[in-house]
Amino acid sequence: MYNTPFVIGVAGGSGSGKTTLANNLKDSILNSIILSHDFYYKDNKDISFEERVQLNYDHPNAFETGLMVEHLKLLKQSLPVERPEYSFVTHTRLEETITVIPSPIIIVEGLLIFEDKALAELMDIKIFVEADDDIRFIRRLTRDVKDRGRSLDSVINQYLSTVKPMHDEFIQPTKKHADIIVPKGGNNTVALHMIIDRVNAILNRTKNFQAEYIQEI
């Protein structure tokens, strides 16, 4: 009998609206949780803050993706995990971890979640969120200055030196792996409702299959 949690992957460039879409899906689908790739940034506490600021956080090597793969496999086995908690202010992991309880629906969200083959293969549906480059930049600028205590110059310099090049090299090419491409960012309500309907249809078919299986036994 099939009872493995259903995994939805939501990827896209920085500021594309992927987090908004993931949150909208979570709010609209019962018994769902979000597992963000951002939780799995490597801990850089062994180097100075000045050195941490200079690191490339948009490269696949910035993440401990292997740990995320391990955690997602455990969650798909209906086992809880202790995921990391990361600070974007200090660029280090916090001492405490967060207990994640398995759920029938797991929404995996992040820049590079389709770039890692082992991680992508654990997803049942892959969604890529698109938005114009200028809109993505403005959103990132606003977020980093307001929520992460960054200076205007540092955000612009980072965008030009790493964010845009890494997007072109690693993130945009993963669009080809997506089952669904959502234009106009995470607030595309038409796309949101279509995705919700699709997921609910799959879940209903699974429930019907389980019911028939039990009756046969």
Predicted confidence (pLDDT) per residue in 119-156, tens digit: 999 999 999 999 888 888 888 888 888 887 788 888 88
Q: Are 33 and 98 in contact (CB under 8 A)?
A: no
| Of 164, 154, 157, 21, nearest in space to 89 by CA | 154
Q: Of 210, 157, 171, whose CA–CA distance to 3 is shortest?
A: 210
What structural domains does the chain harbor? Answer: 6-216 (3.40.50.300)
H and E: helices and strands count for the chain: 8, 9
Query: Is a pLDDT exceeding 50 seen at residue 215?
Result: no
pLDDT, residue 4, reads 83
φ, ψ of residue 178 to 5 degrees: the values are -75, 145
Q: Quick one: pLDDT band at residue 110, thresholds 50, 70, 90?
A: very high
> Would you call 31 exposed, middle or buried from its count of C-beta atoms within 10 A (0-12, 13-18, 19+)?
exposed
Quick one: pLDDT band at residue 205, thresholds 50, 70, 90? low
- Give the pLDDT confidence score for residue 144 in this predicted structure: 83
Whether the predicted model's global pTM rises above the 0.75 cut? yes
pLDDT band at residue 210 under the 50/70/90 scheme: very low
pLDDT value for 206? 56
Tell me what the mean pLDDT of segment 99-105 comes to.
Answer: 94
Task: Provide the 8-state DSSP code for 57.
Answer: T
Q: Which residues pair with 182 in a beta bridge?
A: 129
What 3-state DSSP class applies to 92?
strand
- Asked whether the predicted pLDDT for residue 202 surpasses 80, the reply is no
Give residue-wise pLDDT tens across range 36-92: 999 999 999 999 999 998 899 999 999 999 999 999 999 999 999 999 999 988 999
Question: pLDDT above 90 covers what percent of the chain?
Answer: 60
On the question of pLDDT at 2 being above 50, the answer is: no
Given a cut of 70, is residue 30 above it in pLDDT?
yes
